[in-house]
Amino acid sequence: MKKILVAFMAIMLTMTACNKQQKEAQEPTKDGNPFFVEWDTPYGVPPFDLIKVEHYKPAFDEGLKQHNAEIEAIVSNPDEPTFENTILALENSGELLNNVVSVFFNVSEADGNPEMQAIEEEYGPILTSHYDDINMNEALFNRVKSVYENIDKLGLQGEEAKLVEKYYKSFVRGGTNLSPEDKEKMKKINEELVKLTTNFGKNLLEENKKFKLVITDENDLSGLSESIRTAAAELAKAENTNGYIFTLDKPSWIPFMQFADKRELREKMYKAYINKCNNNDNLDNKKIIERIVVLRTQKANLMGYKTWADFVISDNMAKTAKNAYDLIKNIATTTIPFAKAEVAEMQKIIDKEGGNFKLEPWDWWYYAEKVRKEKYNLNEDEIRPYLELNNVRKGVFTLSEKLYGLTFEQRTDLPVYNPEVETFEVKDENGELLGIMYFDYFPRAGKRAGAWMNNIREEYVKDGKRVIPVIVNVCNFTRPVGNTPSLLSIDEAETLFHEFGHALHGLVTKCKYRSISGTNVPRDLVELPSQICENWTFAPEMLKLYAKHYKTGEVIPDSLVEKIQAAKTFNQGFITLELIAASILDMDWHMIADTNQRDAVEFETASMNKMGLIKEIAPRYSSWYFNHIFGSDVGYSAGYYAYTWSAVLDADAYQAFVETGDVFNKEVATKFRTCLLEKGASEDADVLYRNFRGSDPKIDAFLKRKGFKK
């Protein structure tokens, strides 16, 4: 998802005037560590203004110590295992450690520095070993197993039964049934994996920061709009450099690829992007990938599975690696002819302009824009003035109010980890507080690329009262430049809606237990709430509510809306195929059934040749910068197919609104909320979907939306 992968980076702390006042009112313990006191902040949000880098290591140490003591208390309990003294005690254990982990990794992803990276490198293996010890604690598992085998006898139903099942499965999948020798093997594999995935993400972060295209000749800016030039000049000024700077951050890279006339510079930018961490230097990730894949196969084999994909997907909606692979392979076969047709359209323009060359990958964005203008009389620069960031965000607020009755009120008194972060109270239609939202929208040094949603605190029930979730949306959007506010691209606007869909999933959930609330669902269901939200981004009814010109306030004109609708299947061959190519690459890496080490470049080339990927398109992520699958061992490995699996679900689910003739149909929205969004993992994912739709999803709506089927 454009969502959290557990990548470890760093933290940078700042204070507003309000934060300073709060600091004076809130006195931590004598050693000044905010983690060792109850957070006396509004809604118990983290006191980001008080937390310093030096607080993390003592807090990790104490959290680990307390968690071990709590586990020991469960194991040594002389009473017969029950839901309360075993499962619930386990669910509620490790509160301090959970707080430290949540704050550390949420903040470090968005505000990185070397000090935090050092902490992550030190404590990543320690945390992995800690959770391995719990997962492989035979005495603890025996208590969990006793409750699991006596679910009916103990009268456990609903969420309680599901929580027992989830813990039982997590212990089994964590290696508790392995022999003592194999447990030691598993621990060593996990310890090495966390080091490798950490280094993968660290290398990628450094590589992203390292590359800069500096332009001093105005002629090299041909084709770039004034706003693009100004943004590049601002980057140069910030780095005390003459001229203009373009980087590999998407808000800089994509406009350059779309509009820069200088083909050789587009090629340079493109090759820098696709060769991130593939330059045979100290930041090269190829050997890391090759070792990660071997270790994952070994781990799967220890667990009794042929491949890592078989192991991972057995716990997902798809159930088997074959089911997942068949879906994406079939869609690839369907998509390739459409991508080839797009190549032909662009080549015609090249030939008509007298270009003496064949289309290459670095030409795609540039000539696709020409096709859009020629075929649909639509230029992305026409749309951007109507996609001012705050207006688009008001759009998702309006959407959630129309569908679910939610309201959003900005708070300026909550501690934040960076001055750019904004906070909001979210209330239900009856005025009940649902949760707190943090928005962090712009790229900066130390912030990893991409977009994601995280839970700073998950929703659950404590002492009969609902503990509200605290959610963050983190993105890397086009920054404001001078007097011009942040004007989003089409992709950025969809990304904002997407991440907000994840946030809704975390906000409206109604579950008793953290482990099954909100987004704690199978990987191939988690993208449904986010991707269905994208459908409204450019729906005509929705555009009229939020798309207003940033200068005049004029609502987007019908003529432009009509152009947008006419072009809605534009470039879908490329968009779909680059995603599917990455999904197949992920599956191919993780369907390896032996432990022989592969050459990463040769393997990727063979994978893409086997699927028939055309030379003008590269996978969305090449292996060496595929952070989703190699930057974390709990990310999307053998799970990137989930974007497509969920896309089939979301197209079919959105059709339920379309069929009523009202995309804001409150009855359908209420059903979607109560059957899916509120349920977390309290029931099986396929059951939740059928409860909403009345049947299994059909692929027809997905193919029609893409323009692949009439």
Q: Is the Cβ–Cβ distance between 340 and 614 less than 8 Å?
A: yes
- Is residue 165 part of the annotated active site? The answer reads no
Structure tokens at 558: 């019908």
Structure tokens at 485: 């506010």
CA atoms within a 13 Å half-sphere pointing along the CA-CB vector of 683: 15
Q: Is the Cβ–Cβ distance between 496 and 396 less than 8 Å?
A: yes
The three-class DSSP label of residue 539 is: coil
Centre a 10 Å sphere on the Cβ of residue 49 and count the other Cβ atoms it contains: 22
**Distance of alpha carbon 48 from alpha carbon 14, whole angstroms:** 8
Helix (H) or strand (E) segment spanning residue 114? helix 114-135
CA atoms within a 13 Å half-sphere pointing along the CA-CB vector of 513: 24
- Burial level of 199, CB count in 10 A (0-12/13-18/19+)? middle
Q: Is the Cβ–Cβ distance between 209 and 196 less than 8 Å?
A: no
* Active-site choice (91, 425, 494, 499): 499
Amino acid at 84: E
Cα dihedral across residues 683, 684, 687, 691: positive or negative: positive
H-assigned helices in 535-571:
540-546, 558-566
Three-state secondary structure of 647-691: HHHHHHHHHHHHCCCCCCCHHHHHHHHHHHHCCCCCCCHHHHHHH
Cα 697 from chain centroid (whole Å): 23
**Distance of alpha carbon 408 from alpha carbon 411, whole angstroms:** 10
- CA distances 399 to 518, 568, 669, Å, are 20, 20, 11
- CA distances 685 to 15, 442, 454, 481, 555, Å, are 42, 34, 21, 44, 40
**Distance of alpha carbon 331 from alpha carbon 703, whole angstroms:** 9
Task: Find the length of the chain.
Answer: 710
Question: In sequence order, what DSSP letters do the residues of 242-288 get, joined into one string?
Answer: SSEEE-SSHHHHHHHHHH---HHHHHHHHHHHHTTT-SSSTT--HHH
DSSP label of 484 = B
Catalytic residues, by residue number, are 499
